[in-house]
A and B are shown apart, each in its own frame.
Chain A
Amino acid sequence: AQSVSQHNHHVILSEAASLELGCNYSYGGTVNLFWYVQYPGQHLQLLLKYFSGDPLVKGIKGFEAEFIKSKFSFNLRKPSVQWSDTAEYFCAVNEGLTGGGNKLTFGTGTQLKVEL
């Protein structure tokens, strides 16, 4: 079974600072990777996803992530964070299920707080 590690559990940044959140996964084969965001009191929303092709993926709200296969990593970045980016961020990897369906294995999440 897959596992996903997010090493930063809590991150506090000032507005305009750069952000990088780490994500490592365990599976060595073909993977589909995702970053989801959960704003306070809201449901999970997809930030970006990687399936194939260009390893640098751009998502919504100025976020991007780089897939580095040799490092089993899919780190999330944003050059300049805003107060509205305060949220919890989850990295996830897609894994096929017996009989069909796709299971998302999530990391434990990174709580980002952006201070004014």
Chain B
Amino acid sequence: NAGVTQTPKFRVLKTGQSMTLLCAQDMNHEYMYWYRQDPGMGLRLIHYSVGEGTTAKGEVPDGYNVSRLKKQNFLLGLESAAPSQTSVYFCASSRPPGATGEQFFGPGTRLTVL
């Protein structure tokens, strides 16, 4: 049982390049989330998904797109990377409402945009 995994672990991009971050979970969780973590700002929600084929915007969605084609995977895309997107990105998953609300986090992806 791997929990929540993320690939890649590290990435350096040039301004304007694109990339996709992959999140996978093996806990059969309905809900998945992408957060970014910046110094002194805690974690902020980018996008989330309440089930396969559905996505929604969080607090800071601009510049990102997501897809949830399979229940176990949640992809975060950057179409044209900007230095402001330099951050650590965490994926999380949770069970539906009525359960604990606890979220399980992946190990993170450290992205640097030059």
Interface residues of A (CB under 8 A from B): 4, 9, 32, 34, 36, 42-46, 49, 51, 90, 94, 96-104, 106-109
In angstroms, how far is the closest chain A Cβ from the Cβ of B100? Answer: 7
Number of A-B contacts (CB under 8 A): 67
Which one, B13-21, B70-78, B79-87, B103-111, is touching chain A?
B103-111
Contact of A49 with B97 in the complex, beta carbons under 8 Å: no
A-B residue pairs, 6 tightest by C-beta: A106-B42, A100-B50, A44-B105, A94-B101, A43-B107, A106-B43
Using Cβ atoms and an 8 Å threshold, which residues of chain A touch B54?
A: 99
The answer on a CB contact under 8 Å between A44 and B101 is: no
Closest chain B residue to A36, Cβ basis = B105
Contacts of B50 in A (CB 8 A): 97, 99-101
Residues on the B chain within 8 Å of A32, using CB? 100-101
Chain B residue, CB-CB nearest to A100: B50
Q: Is the CB of A108 within 8 A of B40?
A: yes
Which partner residue on chain B sits nearest A45 by CB separation?
B105
Q: B2 in the interface, Cβ–Cβ < 8 Å?
A: no
| Contact of B101 with A102 in the complex, beta carbons under 8 Å | yes
Query: Across the interface, do B43 and A104 meet the contact criterion of CB distance under 8 Å?
Result: yes
Interfacial chain A residues near B49, Cβ < 8 Å: 101
In the complex, B102 has a CB within 8 A of chain A:
yes
Residues of B50-100 whose CB lies within 8 A of A: 50-51, 54, 56, 58, 90, 92, 94, 96-97, 100
C-alpha spacing A98/B48, complex, angstroms: 11
